[in-house]
Amino acid sequence: MNGYGECSGYVVPAVVKTIKILECFSRPDKHSWTIAELSDALDLPKSTVYRILNTLEVGGILEKEEGGNRYHLGPTLARWAANYVPHRRYQEIIRPYLEELNCATKEAVQLATMEGHRAVVIDKMDSAYMVRAVAWIGRRSPLHCSALGKALLSMAPPKFLDEYLSARLEKITPLTVTDPEAIRQMIDEVREKGYAVDKGELEEGLWCIGVPVWLGDAVPLAISVSGPAQRMVKKRELVVQLLREIQEEIQRTYGKQDRSLQRKMEKGHLRVSGYSESW
């Protein structure tokens, strides 16, 4: 993990190893691990991994499959996540609008920001339907195949977008677009239309529509509505209209940007906190 080597005198090695192990469980493509797999992946002795996993299991942070040798995340982390309130100011400002969207559409609604090259959900409201899209606070998704991610990329400085598209792009579903030029065209469409659409690119059978939101301190945010494709097709025009209205009201009320914002972004003169790592 970046940064530990530079200040090794100020960290506890056992805790660093524990964090590295927990980071493995955050991978979108692998949710359970064995002692041997973690030992190989992190180049740690199996005895060390065993002691750490056993301690995390006792604390409810990890659970071991009954009768098996695989571990997965446990209920303690779920309780911690429920109390995780990053960007509290934005949650307080935008929560009433999420409630309004949720009530009007009866679909799942999310608020997200940037974390590295991922869109991270920082607030959400569940759908009223039994068959629905499911999200959780802290969920991370690739930028190129989610409506939230595309909305965030539409605000990204050119250098950030170039670097993101030059890396290997994950193909999450058969509908995920991974061609860099095709993604550039999608981002251009988001900038032109003001909203992004994900038609089964992140989860098969689910559609999501999202809009970018700028507040006064240039923190990139995005709001989305998602649900099963058959319902979202019928609601698309309503959802887009509601999202655009809420987008405009939030920016007008809490963080209206001056007209030179986009010009500054295009020239690379605006420092945006969510993109500063790679810019």
- Give domain limits for the chain: 5-79, 85-278
Q: Which residue has the higher pLDDT, 28 or 56?
A: 56
Enter the CATH code of domain 5-79: 1.10.10.10
Q: Note whether 136 and 117 are within 8 A (CB).
A: no
Q: How confident is the model at residue 255 (pLDDT cuts 50, 70, 90)?
A: low
Distance of CA 200 to the CA centre of its chain: 16
pLDDT (tens digit per residue) in 135-145: 777 788 999 99
Q: How confident is the model at residue 215 (pLDDT cuts 50, 70, 90)?
A: confident
The pLDDT score that the predictor gives to residue 140 is: 85
Tell me the backbone φ, ψ of residue 79, rounded to 5 degrees: -65, -40
Q: Where are the beta strands (DSSP E) in the chain?
A: 33-34, 62-64, 70-73, 108-115, 118-125, 140-142, 196-199, 206-214, 220-228
3-state helix, strand, coil in the chain (%, to 5): 50, 20, 35
- Only one residue has tokens 């090259």, namely 117
Q: Which CATH number fits domain 85-278: 3.60.15.10, 3.30.450.40, 3.40.50.720, 3.90.1330.10?
A: 3.30.450.40
Burial of 5 (0-12, 13-18, 19+ CB in 10 A): exposed
Q: Judge whether residue 23 has pLDDT over 50.
A: yes
Q: What is the mean pLDDT of the chain?
A: 83
Average pLDDT (7-33) is 83
Average pLDDT (118-124) is 89
Q: Is 145 left (phi over 0), alpha (psi -120 to 50) or beta?
A: alpha
- Tell me the whole-structure pTM to 2 decimals: 0.65
Q: How confident is the model at residue 277 (pLDDT cuts 50, 70, 90)?
A: very low
Give the 3-state secondary structure of residue 2: coil
pLDDT (tens digit per residue) in 106-117: 999 999 998 888
